[in-house]
């Protein structure tokens, strides 16, 4: 009997090429999908960081501005400078009683907020002293003054950090004069306008005369926040409500808030 010979056929070169090509297509599609998903995640995360920075900055400044001019009911014969003082395109400098303005390259505005601190308006320090915006004990604000109140002076402005190169919101309190500390990273510009009693529009600090600071009844705050690098330059609306094209590929977004000066409304009426 003759045995039937069975010959097993092998894969041809063409089949190998087709299989490799299909594999590369699948790999390329997976890589593209991963890259797109990663890019979308990074953009969403950066957008959230920008939003958090903007809202945090407005909350921190707004809380202090709301306290401007506050004097506890048990404090009598308290004579102080006006509750607010601002700088257009600069930061407040000099003595707390008579500050001046030092220009900033980023055109950020600055503001001085004054009020009388007590157990309601500030958190007591570990040594039972009234504190400033950085949690620093205000000089001479001992336990005796904790009930009577003590002057608190906080200064806010935005500038680029000399150590990190990133723009930040700063506060300098009278707990340690001359030692400003960063509060929020990414704040590229702080824009502040003021409402006078009976005014029809908010005005810049440079337009407020010395005797008008006691008549401020509201403040318009705006912070311009800078995000991470993107693939291309993008447009944004700045704090002056003007559409601008970014000078680099970083995303930017402005956030606004209006704050009533409750402790001066009665005086200004």
Residue-wise pLDDT tens digits, 198-217: 899 999 999 999 999 999 99
Query: Rounded distance, CA 154 to CA 132, Å?
Result: 7
Q: Is residue 22 part of a domain?
A: no
pTM attached to this predicted model:
0.81
- What's the chain's average pLDDT? 85
Lowest mean pLDDT among 10-14, 91-95, 187-191, 228-232: 10-14
Highest mean pLDDT among 13-27, 34-48, 116-130, 167-181: 167-181
Q: Is residue 137 part of a domain?
A: yes
In this predicted model, what pLDDT tens digit does every residue of 4-13 receive, in sequence order?
Answer: 545 455 568 7
Across the beta sheet with 167-173, the strand order is: 84-87, 110-117, 150-160, 167-173, 181-185
- Predicted confidence band of residue 98 (pLDDT cuts 50, 70, 90): confident
Give residue 13's pLDDT. 76
- Predicted confidence band of residue 163 (pLDDT cuts 50, 70, 90): confident
Question: What distances in angstroms separate CA 231 from CA 4, 32, 62, 225, 248, one per listed residue?
Answer: 68, 16, 34, 18, 10
Which residues span the domain enclosing 206? 36-268
Give residue 16's pLDDT. 77
Give residue 144's pLDDT. 45
pLDDT at 182 over 70: yes
Q: What is the mean pLDDT of residues 58-77?
A: 87
Q: Is residue 237 part of a domain?
A: yes
Q: Is residue 77 part of a domain?
A: yes
Domain count, the chain: 1
User: Phi-psi region for residue 165, left (φ > 0), alpha (ψ -120 to 50) or beta?
Assistant: left
Q: Is residue 171 part of a domain?
A: yes
Give residue 60's pLDDT. 96
Decide: 64 and 137 in contact? Cβ < 8 Å. Answer: no
Q: What percent of the chain has pLDDT over 90?
A: 51
Provide φ and ψ at 40, rounded to 5°: -65, -40
Provide φ and ψ at 42, rounded to 5°: -65, -40
Query: Rounded distance, CA 26 to CA 22, Å?
Result: 6
Query: Rounded distance, CA 27 to CA 133, Å?
Result: 54
Q: Is residue 4 part of a domain?
A: no
Q: Is residue 111 part of a domain?
A: yes
Q: Is residue 254 part of a domain?
A: yes
Q: What percent of the chain has pLDDT over 70?
A: 86
């Amino acid at each position: 009997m003759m045995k039937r010979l069975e010959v097993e056929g092998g894969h041809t070169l063409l089949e190998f090429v087709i299989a490799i090509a299909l594999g590369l297509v699948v790999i390329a599609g997976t890589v593209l999908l991963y890259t797109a998903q990663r890019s979308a995640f990074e953009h969403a995360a950066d957008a959230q960081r920008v939003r958090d920075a903007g809202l945090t900055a407005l909350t921190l400044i707004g809380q202090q501005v709301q306290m401007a001019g506050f004097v506890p009911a048990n404090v009598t014969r308290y004579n102080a400078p006006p509750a607010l003082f601002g700088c257009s395109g600069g930061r407040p400098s000099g003595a707390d009683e008579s500050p001046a303005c030092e220009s900033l390259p980023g055109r950020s505005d600055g503001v001085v907020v004054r009020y009388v601190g007590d157990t309601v308006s500030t958190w007591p320090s570990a040594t039972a002293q009234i504190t400033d915006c950085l949690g620093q004990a205000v000089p001479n604000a001992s336990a005796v003054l904790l009930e009577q109140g003590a002057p608190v002076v906080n200064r806010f402005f935005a500038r680029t950090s000399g150590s990190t190169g990133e723009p930040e919101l700063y506060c300098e309190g009278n707990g340690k004069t001359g030692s400003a500390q960063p509060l929020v990273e990414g704040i590229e510009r702080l824009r502040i306008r003021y409402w006078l009693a009976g005014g029809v529009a908010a005005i810049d600090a440079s337009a407020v005369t010395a005797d008008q600071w006691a008549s401020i009844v509201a403040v318009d705050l705006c912070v311009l926040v800078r995000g991470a690098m993107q693939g291309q330059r993008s447009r944004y609306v700045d704090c002056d409500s003007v559409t601008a094209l970014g000078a680099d590929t970083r995303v930017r977004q402005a956030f606004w808030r209006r704050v009533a000066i409750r402790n001066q409304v009665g005086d200004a009426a």
